Amino acid sequence: MSRDILIVDTLCSSRILACGEVSAGHHAVRSCATEEEAWAALDAACPDLLVLGAGDGQPGADFLRRLRARPGTRRLPVLAIAAEEDRAARLRLLHAGADEVLTRPYDPALLLGRIRTLLRGADELADLAQGGAGGLAPDMPGLAEPEEGFGARATIRVVTGRAGRMPEAIEPLSRRHALSLDRETLSSGRAGAPAPDLVILDAAGGAPDLAAAIRLAGDGRALHSAALFRQIAEIRSHGPARHAAILALVPPQATNLAVMALDLGAQNVVTPDIGAEELAWRAEGLIRRKRDQDRCREELRVGLKAALHDPMTGLYNRRYALPALDRQAQAPGPPGQLAVMMIDVDDFKAINDRFGHAAGDSVIVAIAQRLEGLVPPEGMVARLGGEEFLAVLPVAGRDAAVDAAERMRRHVAERPVTVDGPGGGCAIRLAAAVSIGLALGTGGEAGSDILARADRALMAAKRAGKNRVIGPASIDGADLATLRPSTGGIHGLAPPGPVLRFGKAV
């Protein structure tokens, strides 16, 4: 897939070289020879990724700091290319805001691998932030704020060979984080243990080159290449650990190994000679980005729940309930095995008018809890709006459906609801009641058809005096019958204390 890549490099030869290398990855490339051109290009259209040539006389840390200070480019993936191997200069670029730093000369395959990894990470975060809609929104909560410094204590797991040891460059991380060592494979950990924030896979063992690393892997002091690839794949498919950031330690000049690790899902690949300070900075950056994604996932989960649930009662809402009913109604099965109940609180307006909406809300919540407690896990109860509820549950025929509906009616009518009096006065016990319209599914029909029958039955229950169950006289629902007539009125339990009743005078 072609992506928009902006290359900023004041050196003509390196800019032309980078343009050719990035174009080989089938990306759309724009190039700028000066900082002024770069800012104009960024204002015209923000790219998917920026490649920055950094060195003497070239844009560097100051350019990156300015870039990160702008809301529209704060999260723009940036890959910096340093002119020479200089650990201090590389750290300055990382501290200023570069996501990755390569040093000339580099393998073009590694450049493209780094670009793919950075784009993948940005896309994942953007998709999570917008609920899968794609496209980075600079004003999205959790994305618009400046990046935090070093955060809370994280869980880091290091995986090495069967005889491997904790790499020296990693040990300083134990001063800030919970660090543990696994050999050969990432262990599942003890029950209830937190999933790792970062997994470090050691395929180098401190070796100075690929040949030495192969020998160390043979002795069990590092992961061999196949084990490295398998670990990445297993982590990405493992439930609790699949969201962990992955950092792979690979030997120098092992370009193919590094590129394959990145493409399989590692977020970063480094050589053991980078030093403890840079390794710590890269590890902290991976942990920070992983927590950004965790926060977005939680916001998405909460948002999805809010979209499908009634905020006051916690029951499913109409948006969820009606499609769910339709799915259950159209499932094949014998007639009379699905009970659909329309439930309406009797004389609810009188409660609101006399005691206020807070008291009315308390009644709605109490009734919702009682209905939910009587519906089995395979069933569903939802608040459709106002004082109207829907219950759907599997039953073993008409008589079982009638019994279930009557249990719900009694469970509400026989237990008064305690609410605060008007203006926060003394608590009052209100007798509430519900009318229930019952319909039975005939198997393979539209949910709206069953719902319409249940609604007609509910209206009949209201006309017949309320506080009663009315449903089909037969399985096919041709006629309505009063299945459980009330004894008249809406009755609550008297003791202890007075109970206020609404509806028919008693």
Residues 38, 46: contact at Cβ < 8 Å? no
**Distance (Å, whole) CA 24 – CA 112:** 9
CA-based nearest residue to 76, from 66, 91, 62: 66
What was the pLDDT predicted at 423? 63
Fold of 1-140: Rossmann fold (3.40.50)
**Distance (Å, whole) CA 251 – CA 506:** 88
What was the pLDDT predicted at 169? 87
pLDDT tens across 337-374, in order? 889 999 999 999 988 888 888 889 999 999 999 999 99
More confident residue, 66 or 504: 66
Which CATH code for domain 318-500? 3.30.70.270
Q: List the beta strands (DSSP E) in 90-167.
A: 100-103, 155-160
Question: Where are the domains positioned within the chain?
Answer: 1-140, 148-303, 318-500
pLDDT tens across 183-212, in order? 888 876 555 678 899 999 999 998 888 899
pLDDT tens across 104-155, in order? 889 999 999 999 999 999 998 888 777 644 433 444 444 444 444 456 889 9
Range of weakest confidence among 21-35, 155-169, 379-393, 464-478: 464-478
Residue 503 binned pLDDT confidence (cut-offs 50, 70, 90): very low
Reply yes or no on whether the pLDDT at 283 is more than 90.
Answer: yes
In sequence order, what are the residues at sequence separation of 6 or more whose Cβ sits closer than 8 angstroms to the Cβ of residue 345? Answer: 363, 364, 367, 387, 388, 432, 433, 434
Q: What is the DSSP letter of 489?
A: S
What was the pLDDT predicted at 83? 81
Q: Do domains 1-140 and 148-303 have the same CATH topology?
A: yes
Homologous superfamily (CATH) for 148-303: Response regulator (3.40.50.2300)
In sequence order, what are the residues at sequence separation of 6 or more whose Cβ sits closer than 8 angstroms to the Cβ of residue 30? Answer: 4, 5, 6, 7, 41, 47
**Distance (Å, whole) CA 441 – CA 447:** 8
Q: Which amino acid belongs to residue 58?
A: Q
Mean pLDDT taken over the chain = 85
What was the pLDDT predicted at 188? 65
Q: What is the mean pLDDT of residues 4-17?
A: 93
**Distance (Å, whole) CA 268 – CA 283:** 9
Reply yes or no on whether the pLDDT at 384 is more than 50.
Answer: yes
pLDDT tens across 449-490, in order? 999 999 999 999 999 999 999 987 655 555 666 655 554 433
Reply yes or no on whether the pLDDT at 504 is more than 50.
Answer: no
What was the pLDDT predicted at 365? 94
